[in-house]
Amino acid sequence: MVFLSVRVDKDLNAIKGGGACHLREKVIAEAASTFIVVADYRKNSEFLGTNWAPGVPVEVVPFAYAKVLRDLQTLGSTNAALRMAVKKAGPVVTDNGNFVIDAPFGRQDFLDPASVLTKIKLLTGVVEVGLFCNIVKAAYFGNADGSVTIKKVDGTVEELVPSTS
């Protein structure tokens, strides 16, 4: 399975969810025998949260969004906010009829993104979280010069340079 448009850290943890399909994306990713992500070089970072200002996308049941917002603020996401729609009134609604909260956390929190994922998932009202920890096997980054950087789960990094023929 390949996902596009993610933010990936040095350990191949990823943030995905700008399109508000967290639950479905996570089900597909976990069902895949191999999970690979593809992104451009701007989404390759040492730590999550350093080049994605909105933060961690969190899918929540509508009834619980106010409580989950407070809980996320208690966990350290002081600027957590309900994602509002752009071309319609009201919040963004996921494919499953839920709301999305964008929860930015600091760099210190992202030293252990799996811990952030676990803490958020334990909040009552949370359906799914746009953090993909310990499931990405490889990440392919298209670079501005046309080359491709491949980062693998075993820590190896490979550079593919376009042929000039």
Write the DSSP string, 76-122: T-TT-EEPBPSSSSSB-B-TTS-EEEEE---TTGGGSHHHHHHHHHT
Distance in angstroms (rounded) separating the CA atoms of residues 79 and 53: 11
Catalytic residue among 25, 46, 128, 158, which? 25
| pLDDT at position 162 | 82
pLDDT of residue 71: 98
pLDDT value, residue 137: 94
Segments of the chain scoring below 50 in pLDDT: none
Q: Is 25 a catalytic residue?
A: yes
Predicted local confidence at residue 52, as pLDDT: 66
Please state, in angstroms and rounded to a whole number, the distance separating the CA atoms of residues 133 and 116.
Answer: 10
Distance, in Å, from the CA atom of 41 to the CA atom of 164, rounded to the nearest integer, reads: 21
**pLDDT at residue number 1:** 58
pLDDT at 84: 93
CA–CA gap between residue 39 and residue 151 (Å, rounded): 12
Q: Tell me the percentage of the chain whose pLDDT exceeds 90.
A: 61
